[in-house]
């Protein structure tokens, strides 16, 4: 059975999209149409964001939640990869201590050291 889903977003998404350069903007709009047609095509997120999916468009991420009962896709956040996940956590009200517990402080420090070492070579 092929169900039709509907995108549901806040007006702030249109305002955000207005400031994106033209080429990525066209790709993001095409991606939104694709997500609307097949919502499970996006990758499920992990840890405290496990009920959400992401769809990657160049350096941008579309984070959304699927409501199977209502056949709706709730757009949670769209932004550059560097900031989108922190903004989603802030919107959900996750505290800094919860973030550290979810990610592990030691893991983050190791990844930073690897980046520093790799840039010296």
How sure is the predictor about 102, in pLDDT bands with cuts at 50, 70 and 90? low
Domain ranges of the chain: 6-95
Which of 74, 38, 75, 40 lies closest to 60 in space, CA to CA? 75
Please, are residues 60 and 68 in contact by the beta-carbon 8 Å criterion? Answer: no
Please give the residue that has the higher pLDDT: either 56 or 79: 56
Contacts of 31 (CB under 8 A, 6+ apart): 55, 57, 62
How sure is the predictor about 107, in pLDDT bands with cuts at 50, 70 and 90? very low
What is the dihedral sign for C-alpha 59, 98, 87, 53? Answer: positive
The first and second tokens of residue 49, run together, are 């964001």
CATH code for 6-95?
A: 3.30.2310.20
pLDDT digits over 21-67, tens only? 888 888 988 998 898 888 888 899 888 888 899 999 988 898 899 88
* CA distances (Å), origin 80, targets 5, 7, 20, 74, 118: 25, 20, 10, 18, 24
């Amino acid at each position: 059975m092929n169900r039709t889903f509907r995108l549901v977003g806040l007006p702030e998404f249109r305002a955000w999209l207005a400031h994106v350069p033209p080429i990525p903007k066209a790709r993001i709009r095409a991606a939104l149409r694709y997500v609307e047609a097949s919502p499970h095509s996006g990758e499920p997120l992990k840890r405290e964001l496990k009920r959400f999916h992401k769809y990657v468009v160049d350096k941008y991420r579309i984070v959304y939640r699927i409501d199977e009962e209502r056949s709706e896709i709730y757009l949670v956040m769209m932004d550059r990869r560097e900031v989108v996940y922190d903004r989603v956590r802030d919107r959900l009200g996750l505290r800094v201590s919860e973030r550290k517990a979810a990610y592990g402080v030691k893991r983050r420090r190791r990844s930073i050291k690897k980046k520093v070492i790799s840039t010296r070579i």
